[in-house]
Amino acid sequence: MSVAAPDGTRWTVRVAWEPRWRALARRFGGWRRKKRNGDGGSGDVVDPAVQVGDAATSGSSGGGGGGFDLGDAVFVLVVVFIAVIAAAALFWWVLLPLLLILVDLVVAVVLLVLAVLGRVLLRRPWTVVAAAGNGERITAEVVGWRAALRRRDEMADLLGRGEAVDAVSPAK
């Protein structure tokens, strides 16, 4: 909510949703991911060699056509190889990103619901912030969402009339 004071100063009054990052960093000092020196190691690579036998080694008696030909085997291997490459490319550039976006959205929604429930059920105070265009800030911590909205409206009304706004000390 934006309001103009009689002296012309523009104030933006809002209920802050974001957490207090400095308090979190102090409380959970190592919450950022630490870099590791190792690269995680490399696994063994399996050699996908395929042996295609001719008529002498494949157990067929060499009489007459209609048998398995080496040209057919090479053609089948090329088609299978191209199909595997196409399937891997489709998975890597289409399906995996879509799956990761879906997982991201589910995690974000679950965290949002848990954050709101935690704030409401644990009665964590909401921070009402009034910020002026010149950098001046007034903050008040209020327990309860409706009380925070009432305090926001009250602060905006007081600032609009040019009266002093008292900041409420944080609830402990």
User: Quick one: which of 162, 168, 131 has its CA closest to 148?
Assistant: 168
Ramachandran area for residue 42 (φ above 0: left; ψ -120 to 50: alpha; else beta):
beta
Structure tokens at 171: 């609830």
pLDDT per residue as tens digits for the range 25-82: 666 665 455 555 554 555 555 445 544 454 445 555 555 556 667 888 899 999 999 9
- What pLDDT does residue 144 have? 87
- What pLDDT does residue 17 have? 78
d(CA 140, CA 142): 6
Instruction: Judge whether 3 and 14 are in contact, CB under 8 Å.
Output: no
Instruction: Judge whether 130 and 11 are in contact, CB under 8 Å.
Output: yes
Residues, the chain, total?
Answer: 172
Non-local (6+) Cβ contacts of 71 within 8 A are: none
